[in-house]
Amino acid sequence: MNAPFNKLAPQDGVSRRELMVVGAALVGGALVVGCSPADLMSAGSKVEVGAFGPFIRFDPDGAVTVLSKHIEFGQGNHAGLAAIVAEELDADWNRVKVVHAPANAKLYGNTGMGVQLTGGSSAISNSWDQLRKAGAGARAMFVQAAATQWNVPASEITVKDSVVSHGSGKSAGFGQLIADAAKVAPPESPSLKDPKTFTLIGTDRVRRKDSQAKSDGTARYTQDVQLPNMLVAVVAHAPRFGGVVKSFNGDDAKKVAGVVDVYQIPTGIAVVADSTYAARMGREALKVEWDLGKAETRDSATIAGQWRDIAAGKGPSDLKWEAFDSKGDAAAAAGGKDAFETTYDFPYLAHATMEPMNCVAQVDGNKVKLTHGSQGQTLDQMAAAKIVGTLPGSVEIETLFAGGSFGRRANFQSDYVAECVHIAKKVGGNRPVKLIWTREDDMRAGYFRPIVHHAVRVTLDKDGYPATWRHRIVTQSIMKGSPMPAKGPDQTAIEGTAGSPYLKATPIVDAQLALPEAGVPVLWWRSVGATHTAFVMEHTIDQLAGKAGKDPVDYRRALYAKAGANRHLAALNLAVEKAGPAPAAGWTRGVAVHESFGSVVAQVAEVKLVDGQPRVGRVVTAIDCGVAVSPDQVAAQMEGGTCYGLSAALYGEVTLTGGAVDQSNFDTYRVLRINEAPTVETHIVPSGAAPSGVGEPGTPVIGPAVANALLAISKTPTTRLPFVRSQA
């Protein structure tokens, strides 16, 4: 979720008026002159700010609580965010904890997006300046309070591990100074530390704060919410996307012990009960007839075939092509002798989080409270507000941990959240309703990474480097129809091909995008466009190197030099150096490098074939992510991102038959298990730049690295994913 939200940022050339229009569209109201989207979307909020600002609270004993505007669902961002505050505050790291902030777009909006939303691997980068200032500001308040109490100059006061001291021997903990410090006016622009003096950021002391709770069963997820008088709901959904209820009979369902009621809601038929088991048994007893007249009925293979036809110039004549990164004579890119030509096909992918989608809602008239793992609080507020007829800002949200997201929990429809609010509205009386999706509900609900097709044609110059590059991408648009429609080509479809150093190094480029439609809900999936563009660019480069008779690593180095891609070069060199001269006997190496979310990741993967299937052993990773606030969590994200990307590359594929999703659970949607997991070594490129993304950039590189190793082993390129097709 990188590019789409950049489009909302004024620095990207979007005017204030456009932002306002987006804001108004998001709220579903008219354009309100003179107020920002954040103002619009926080109107009605009752969130209060303490003396030390919206991000920091102190307990009476001086313990620090950092309020995170970003949800923690695995990324480790809470460790990094707390460390940024603790560093500037000079707080005792052992006495710093993190909680989720309440929902309020104005106080807690993502500064790059204008709405409160965690995404685009932006949690740390987006909060870097904001939280440094928050920490430094609070520190200055304590220093001033001590200076006044002790009648000494503030400049002579030092702070270390939550203790404020003066050379005269006077000292006091934060707890002793809170009352006075809270009365000091917060400084407008507190002075920030010289990063050379950081003592916490960038060290191995920055570790997760939630490991204990996540190891003893006490961490609280939506699934675990238990409130007095709470009902559990499950919903019968249409068997195809776009289907609606024609008629239903809930009599038998209501006879199931524990079932309280059955309701029709826009997305299907809801069964509410006093327990999860009763709700599920009730749903089995439901009789529903569906109207599938407007449903998507194509096979996924048919859709993929149509995308291929479009790229080959056999698509509908009214389908628009949009150019990106193009330069020079397009006719030349279509001509030339001895061209390298290939295509690539990518399937639908499910996010398949460990915790299936769920939500807890309470509705009383037009009052709403949501308790769930909210990734896009402002989006969820807007969806709920629209259903009950209130201001988005007045929708209260308690954000909990979520059992993974990988993009799934942030979508413009807030699909399952809206579903829960509809049910809670039917129940009424502020009675809590927990909506539970089963694994099957979750797998079949769509919001997949779309099917994507690439067609590539490259000619080489006399030295073997690309002279012309023709590129066609065909996919379904993620941003189309959203309140933040793409201006120009949908970046979520092209990022990674667009901006590629290889295209920069090529004199003539003709790159175009077509976005045909399908009735399947699609969404960003960890690393978004890079899920396919990294594969296409990196696997193509190895094939071009082969054609040119050059070593793939040297070939990349030469192209990075031509493109001025110094960060790519540094990451590649570090990974290659740390990998050492040669793999162990029987293993073959593949290399890939890709930039996403502001970070560059290079990987050397060691691969062998076991029973004809790829097995990945050691993966040496180098990342340039600017300042690594928490080096250990950067490593954790490289390990996890690699597994997530490898799982999809090896096995990930959702198929449709007659429009119905064929997969339902982990028996049919295979995912990576411990016996198939690689060992990832992480090396961080030294950098003084501000932090950039970490949660997603580790995902897209392993697929092409493995494909490149397989190319070296078998001389056969990979033109479609996954590597291992289902035997079904």
Of residues 352-371, those binding other proteins (CB under 8 A):
352-356
Estimate to the nearest angstrom the gap between the alpha carbon of 51 and the chain centroid.
33
Closest CB to other proteins among 252 and 299? 252
Verify binding: residue 29, other proteins, rule CB under 8 A: no
The CB-side HSE value for 498 (13 A sphere, CA atoms) comes to 18
Verify binding: residue 77, other proteins, rule CB under 8 A: no
Joined together, the tokens standing for residue 17 give 């008026």
Least distance from other proteins to the Cβ atom of residue 266, Å:
26
Q: In the range 688-727, which residues lie near other proteins by CB under 8 A?
A: 688-690, 692-693
Burial of 331 (0-12, 13-18, 19+ CB in 10 A): exposed
Verify binding: residue 575, other proteins, rule CB under 8 A: no
Among 51, 677, 713, 724, binds other proteins (CB under 8 A): 677
Among 14, 452, 628, 656, binds other proteins (CB under 8 A): 628
Judged by DSSP in three states, 530 sits in helix
Alpha helix segments (H runs only) across 550-622: 552-563, 566-579
Among 673, 714, 719, 726, binds other proteins (CB under 8 A): 673
Verify binding: residue 224, other proteins, rule CB under 8 A: yes
Interface map 489-508 toward other proteins (x if CB under 8 A): ----------x-x-------
Among 672, 706, 707, 710, binds other proteins (CB under 8 A): 672
Joined together, the tokens standing for residue 374 give 């909210």
Estimate to the nearest angstrom the gap between the alpha carbon of 269 and the chain centroid.
30
Residue 71, phi then psi, degrees to nearest 5 = -75, 145
Q: How many CB atoms lie within 10 A of CB 225?
A: 17
Distances (CA, A) of 688 to 196, 626, 694: 10, 6, 16
Joined together, the tokens standing for residue 664 give 């339902």
Verify binding: residue 482, other proteins, rule CB under 8 A: no
Among 28, 195, 316, 428, binds other proteins (CB under 8 A): 195
Least distance from other proteins to the Cβ atom of residue 627, Å:
6
Q: In the range 406-435, which residues lie near other proteins by CB under 8 A?
A: 406
Between CA 84 and CA 90, with CA 85 as vertex, the angle to 5 degrees is: 105
Q: In the range 437-476, which residues lie near other proteins by CB under 8 A?
A: 438-440
Q: In the range 225-284, which residues lie near other proteins by CB under 8 A?
A: 226, 232, 257, 275-277
Interface map 533-562 toward other proteins (x if CB under 8 A): ------------------------------
Interface map 595-624 toward other proteins (x if CB under 8 A): xxxxxx-----------------x------
Joined together, the tokens standing for residue 301 give 């293979």
DSSP 583: P
Interface map 577-596 toward other proteins (x if CB under 8 A): -x----------------xx
The CB-side HSE value for 191 (13 A sphere, CA atoms) comes to 4
Verify binding: residue 657, other proteins, rule CB under 8 A: no
Question: Is the N-terminal amide bond of 4 cis, ω within 30° of 0?
Answer: no
Least distance from other proteins to the Cβ atom of residue 196, Å:
5
* DSSP string covering 164-226: EEETTS-EEEHHHHHHHHTTSPPPSSPPPPPGGG-SSTTSTT---SSTTTTTTT---BGGG--
DSSP 607: E
Q: In the range 123-162, which residues lie near other proteins by CB under 8 A?
A: 125-126
Verify binding: residue 327, other proteins, rule CB under 8 A: no
The site that binds other proteins (CB under 8 A) totals a number of residues, namely 117
Verify binding: residue 344, other proteins, rule CB under 8 A: no
Could you tell me which residues come within 8 angstroms of residue 598 by beta carbon, excluding any fewer than 6 positions away?
121, 125, 625, 626, 692, 693
Verify binding: residue 728, other proteins, rule CB under 8 A: no
Judged by DSSP in three states, 682 sits in strand
Which one of 60-68, 74-82, 93-101, 536-544 is the stretch in contact with other proteins (CB under 8 A)? 74-82
Least distance from other proteins to the Cβ atom of residue 278, Å:
9
Estimate to the nearest angstrom the gap between the alpha carbon of 705 and the chain centroid.
22
Verify binding: residue 404, other proteins, rule CB under 8 A: yes
Verify binding: residue 189, other proteins, rule CB under 8 A: no
Least distance from other proteins to the Cβ atom of residue 62, Å:
24
Could you tell me which residues come within 8 angstroms of residue 627 by beta carbon, excluding any fewer than 6 positions away?
195, 201, 202, 687, 688, 689, 690, 691
Verify binding: residue 217, other proteins, rule CB under 8 A: yes
Residue the block writes with tokens 């006044």 = 148
Instruction: Give the separation between CA 618 and CA 331, rounded to whole angstroms.
Output: 44
Among 89, 420, 643, 705, binds other proteins (CB under 8 A): 643
Verify binding: residue 511, other proteins, rule CB under 8 A: no
Closest CB to other proteins among 32 and 225? 225
Verify binding: residue 679, other proteins, rule CB under 8 A: yes
Closest CB to other proteins among 98 and 146? 98
Least distance from other proteins to the Cβ atom of residue 555, Å:
19
502 with 568: CB under 8 angstroms?
no
Q: In the range 94-113, which residues lie near other proteins by CB under 8 A?
A: 110-113
